[in-house]
Structure formats: structure tokens, C-alpha cells
Amino acid sequence: MNVPNSQSLLTARLVKAIRSICGPGVVPLHEPRFAGEEWNYLKDCLDSTFVSSVGQYVDRFEAELAQYTGAKYAVAVTNGTAALHAALLLAGVRPNDEVLMPSLTFVATANAVSYCSATPHFADSTEQTLGLDPSALREYLISIAEQRDGQCINIATGRVIRAMVPMHAFGHPVEIEALLAVARDFNIALVEDAAESLGSTISGQHTGTFGLLGTLSFNGNKTITTGGGGAILTNNADLARRAKHLTMTAKLPHRWNYMHDEIGYNYRMPNLNAALGCAQLRQLPGFIEAKRRLFDRYNAALVEISGARLFKEPPRCRSNYWLQTLLLDEAVAGARDEILAATNDAGLMTRPAWELMHRLAPYRNCPRMGLAVAESLERRLINLPSSAQLGLDRAA
């Protein structure tokens, strides 16, 4: 078997299949769609002159987001990283703590932990969900941690393992019930990084609502966008009050005085962004249906190509398919960069997985378990053009 030639053939077949779905021209990885009340809501916001952190659209967006996700409370903030930073503080993460998270994640997950002056502790993923592997994590914690005074202590470092942050990669839910059981058994708080999974559910329950807190992102490349923005979800009334207080500079209510009772953060979502979010949220069900149709179209185009498969939502889950994900077989993993080069040269904007966190300069010395699955996924994963528009054009 001539491996280089077989890889080149695979590349050519993939480029042809992806182009057949995406149509002609340059095709972005993911672009927003504005086909609702965006212009009207933004004009209304501008006419009101309330464009910053005070205004009706911020409160409205929070209420509608809570209703959509089923969370009792939603607190809108400036971006997903700010949401995760605040959520970790609310979960009790303090300087010198450790926080478990996948190495296969976007850097914001690790950065938010660092903002708390805590240390990321990297764990492996499972190929069934692309997220944290609960069975491997349990066995790992049994071997490296012990309970002291109701806290999980890393025996090697002496630090408290305070929290766990599962991340629902590319919109696909993790095995959250099993991870909640690990968190409960080891006295670890669970904060969901649901930045990519707005609209994804597990047995009908929305991601981001299982843990103590959950966080969302509304960056320009997400399923819906507020330009920049994020949110904290929780079912705990006290945590919701604290979240709003902490993210509004910890200012005490008063008609005119400026009194702050702790170090807070200027993280409140501006009204202008929230106006955009309200318009986008009304279109979210249609966006998700379009993305699910796009999965079906890609899957049909790729099903006969050996050596690669499209990642499908895990059992009992309904994924938003934020980014369509191609997984190469390990035998042809060496073709990944060739495929990336060929597709991007053709104007098809594909991307690899993120560089694993434990390989990034700021995090190379952080504690970690064996990461064989994450390293394999990184070698084999390619994200395909995934805009909702690609599923809408031929659905009409």
C-alpha cells in the first residue's frame, strides 16, 4: 500500500465531498446569521440611549435565556471567559487550588482558572463524547488524591482539588451524570463550560444546568451571538444574586452613592449586546434545526469515504452541532495537515482541534493524568464549515 498516495486520494475525496455541501466560493468555518429583529432591536436600543450596562434588553435577555435553558437564573456578562472566571470564584475556587479540566479544550477554560490564581489540572477525554472521561478520571483520583476534612487533596502537591470543569466540545454533551457522581464522591464542585453547547440537551435537560453553575458564550462564531457576551446559569438563588453583584463591580444599591463591599468585576453585558442577543435567541431553534440538517448532508456525502467519519451526537443527547467534526482513522492521522492545507487552499475554512492545553507554554508544568485519548483526538480531528446558513439554503 502506498500510504502517501492513499492519503492524497483521501484528501481529494474529502475536498470534493465538502465542496459539494458548501457550494462555490470561500466558505467560512462559522459565520453569524442576522435574519430576524436585529436591526429593529438595535435601533430601539440606540434610540433609548441606554447602550451600556443598564437597559431593558439586558434584563429581558437574562429572562429569556433562563426560560430557554430551563435554568432558574441567568446572569449576562461580557464574554464566556468572564462568565467562567466569575463562576469559578462563586464555586469557591481560591488561590493555590487545583481545578480539573480536559486538556482538549479552548484556552479560555484554563485561563479562567489562572485568573483565580489557581492551577489547571488536566484530564483525559473519551472518543464517545470528546469530553472528560468519567471512568478514567475516577480511577485517576483514586490513585492520586485523598479526603481530608471534607476536601479532595492532591497527595503529590498538597493542594486542594476544588472544582471540575467539563467542557461540552463543539456542542456535544459530556457524560454529565457520571461526572457529577465523581464530583460528589470526591467533594469537588462541578462547573460546566457550556460555551459551545447552547441548545444541546441530555435526556431533555439543557447543558449548563446540571452543575452548581454553568457558563455560555455568545462570541461572533457561536450558535447565536451578541457580538461579545456570555452568561452564568444556576438554579441557586444565592449564587445568582452573588453572580450579579460580583459582575457589576460589587456595587451596593443606592440612588447616588458609589459603595463597593468587595473586589468586583466590570463584567456586565451591555444593553446594546443584549438587544442583539434577544433577536438572535428567537431564531435559535431554527439555527439548530439547520445545523442538524447540515450534519445529515455532510454525513451522506462522507459515508462512503473510508478512513474518516463525521462525529455524531452521543446517546441520549441532542447536540446543537455547533461545529461539524470530522474524525480521521488513526491509520491516516498523518493526512490531517495535508487535508487542512488542501481545504483551506480551496477556500473551505477547516480547522484542527485546539493545541492541547498541557502543551501550551503557560501550562506545561501543570499536573495532568495520562492523556492518550486527547492526544489521539488532536491528531485526527478536523472541524468543517458549519454555519447555519449551509443547512438553511437547501432546506427551503
What's the number of domains the chain is made of? 2
- Low-confidence stretches of the chain (pLDDT < 50) are 1-2, 395-396
Q: Tell me, what's the pLDDT at 395?
A: 40
**DSSP-derived pairing of the beta strands 161-164 and 189-193:** parallel
Distance CA 130, CA 136 (A): 14
* Cβ atoms 374, 331 nearer than 8 A: no
Question: What distances in angstroms separate CA 334 from CA 3, 25, 65, 128, one per listed residue?
Answer: 10, 27, 42, 22
Both 95 and 205 in one domain: the answer is yes
Both 16 and 72 in one domain: the answer is no
Which neighbouring-strand residues pair with 27?
A: 348
Both 238 and 107 in one domain: the answer is yes
CATH of the domain at 315: 3.90.1150.10
Q: Tell me, what's the pLDDT at 394?
A: 55
State which of 280, 310, 330 marks the end of a domain: 280
* Cβ atoms 305, 237 nearer than 8 A: no
Q: Which of 88, 311, 268, 281 is nearest to 192 (CA)?
A: 88
Both 233 and 165 in one domain: the answer is yes
Q: Tell me, what's the pLDDT at 17?
A: 97
Q: Tell me, what's the pLDDT at 4?
A: 56
State which of 246, 280, 314 marks the end of a domain: 280
pLDDT digits over 214-225, tens only? 999 999 999 999
Distance CA 205, CA 316 (A): 10
Please give the model's pTM, rounded to 2 decimal places: 0.96
Report CA Rg, the chain: 22
Both 206 and 294 in one domain: the answer is no
Both 231 and 135 in one domain: the answer is yes
Q: Tell me, what's the pLDDT at 392?
A: 84
What is the domain extent for residue 288? 3-32+283-392
